[in-house]
Amino acid sequence: MVQEQPAQNRPSQGASTVGTQVQGTSLQEKPVLDKPIHVTDDDFDKVVRENRYVVVDFWAEWCRPCHAIAPTIDDLAKRYAGKVVFAKINSDDNQRKFQEYGVMGIPTLLFFRDGKLVDQVIGAMPKAQLEQRVVKHLG
């Protein structure tokens, strides 16, 4: 008989884990993210540093173009799960990173590879073009 696990012990829906095996023991399990995560000024650097490839969406709740590209960001997060981490940072609550990166208009997407800024997109862009930019830095 199979028993249902309590909710707190089940992996979150949409996320699986990838473990690193060394001599049969799991060193660390890291979730495979298939949707954007929300970051703040405080955890932004950690997310960029700890993930090989991160695309950060600088956005705001009141920004219509930000809402227009949100489904594209969600779809790309699913399509490139395990290869790219998509993160969103809200301009109204997190001014430090906006100032640090000179973000003057939203939406702005910053592409980080191995902790270094490698590309940026300012404004809304069609899905096919945005996906080309994502793929360009997969390496």
Which of 55, 56, 63, 106 is labelled catalytic? 63
Which of 66, 77, 87, 106 is labelled catalytic? 66
The angle, 0 to 180 degrees and rounded to 10, between the axes of the packed helices 64-79 and 127-136 is 50
- Closest CA relative to residue 122, chosen from 84, 50, 65: 65
Give the integer Cα–Cα distance in Å for 51 and 93.
23
Residue for token pair 């000024």: 41
Is 4 among the catalytic positions?
no
Phi/psi at 66 (5° precision): -60, -45
CB 124 within 8 A of CB 105: no
Is 55 among the catalytic positions?
no
What 3-state class would DSSP assign to 102?
A: coil
Q: Cite the active site residues.
A: 63, 66
